[in-house]
Amino acid sequence: MCVVTAGHLSTCPRMLKAADALAGAGYEVRVVSTRNTPWATAADATLTRTRHWSWSIVDYDRVTGRELQIKTGLRFRSMQAIARTAGPLRVPLGMAIRAYSRAHDELVKEIASQPVDLIYGGTTGALAAVAEAAGRIRVPYGIDFEDFHSGEHGGAGSELTNALAGRVERHVIHRAAFTTAGSPMIADVYGETYGVRPLPIHNTFSIEPASGRDRLDGPLRLYWFSQTLGPGRGLEEVIRATGEADIPIELHLRARPIQEYMASLRSLRVRVAPQLELAIHDPLMPDDMVRLAQPYDAGLAVEEPYVLNKRLSLANKIFTYLAAGVPVILSRTPAQAQLEPALGEAAFGYECGDVSGLARILRTIGGDTALRDRARAAARAVAERRWHWEHPDDRGALLAAVAGALN
Query: Tell me, what's the pLDDT at 213?
Result: 56
pTM of the model: 0.94
The mean per-residue pLDDT over the stretch 250-270 comes to: 95
% of residues, the chain, pLDDT over 70: 99
Spatial distance between the Cα atoms of 232 and 40, rounded to a whole number of angstroms: 22
**Distance from C-alpha of 162 to C-alpha of 144, rounded to nearest angstrom:** 17
Sequence-distant contacts of 192-201: CB under 8 A, at least 24 apart: 193/150, 193/169, 194/169, 194/170, 198/143, 198/145, 199/397, 199/401, 201/144, 201/393, 201/394, 201/397, 201/398
146: Cα within 13 Å, side-chain hemisphere: 21
What does the pLDDT read at residue 181?
A: 98
Name the nearest CA neighbour of 352 among 306, 404, 406, 402.
306
Q: Is the pLDDT of residue 212 over 80?
A: no
pLDDT of residue 6: 80
Structural fold of domain 220-385: Rossmann fold (3.40.50)
Spell out the residues 6+ positions from residue 379 whose beta carbon is closer than 8 angstroms to its own: 321, 322, 324, 325, 326, 327, 328, 343, 346
pLDDT at 121: 95
**Angle in degrees, 0-180, between the axes of helices 334-343 and 316-323, rounded to the nearest 10:** 20
- Convert the pLDDT of each residue in 318-376 to its tens digit: 999 999 999 999 999 999 999 999 999 999 999 999 999 999 999 999 999 999 999 99
Q: Which residues contact 268 (CB under 8 A, 6 or more apart)?
A: 236, 239, 240
Residue 43 has pLDDT above 90, yes or no: no
Instruction: Please report, as a single letter, which amino acid is at residue 249.
Output: I
Residues facing residue 347 across a β-bridge:
328
d(CA 407, CA 390): 23
pLDDT of the residue at 105: 97
Residue 387: exposure state from Cβ atoms within 10 A (0-12, 13-18, ≥19): buried
CA distance 404 to 398: 10
In which band, very low, low, confident or very high, does the pLDDT at 8 lie, cut at 50, 70 and 90? confident
Residue 87 clears pLDDT 80, i.e. is over it: yes
| Average pLDDT of every residue of the chain | 94
Half-sphere exposure of 283 (CA within 13 A, CB side): 17
* Total Cβ atoms within 10 A of residue 40: 23
Section 27-36 average pLDDT:
94
Mean pLDDT within 148-156: 91
CATH number of 2-204+390-406: 3.40.50.2000
pLDDT above 60 for 214: no
Residue type, 292: L
- Nearest partner of 184 among 166, 201, 204, judged by Cα: 201
User: How would you classify the pairing of strands 199-200 and 178-181?
Assistant: parallel
In angstroms, the CA 99 to CA 93 distance is 10
Rounded to 5°, the CA angle 48-148-330 comes to: 80
Query: Which has the closest alpha carbon to 103: 131, 125, 84?
Result: 125
- What confidence category does residue 37 fall into, taking pLDDT thresholds of 50, 70 and 90? confident
User: Is the pLDDT reported for residue 51 higher than 90?
Assistant: yes
Beta strand 30-35 with 54-59 is parallel
- Range 266-280 average pLDDT: 95
Distances (CA, A) of 308 to 24, 201, 304, 312: 35, 19, 10, 7
Task: Report the percent of the chain where pLDDT is more than 90.
Answer: 87
Give the mean model confidence (pLDDT) for residues 287-315: 96
Fold matches, 2-204+390-406 and 220-385: yes
So where are the chain's domains? 2-204+390-406, 220-385
Start-to-end CA distance of the chain, whole Å, equals 13
What's the pLDDT tens digit per position in 187-196? 999 999 999 9
Mean predicted confidence (pLDDT) in 132-143: 97
Q: Please determine, for residue 30, whether its predicted confidence score (pLDDT) is greater than 60.
A: yes
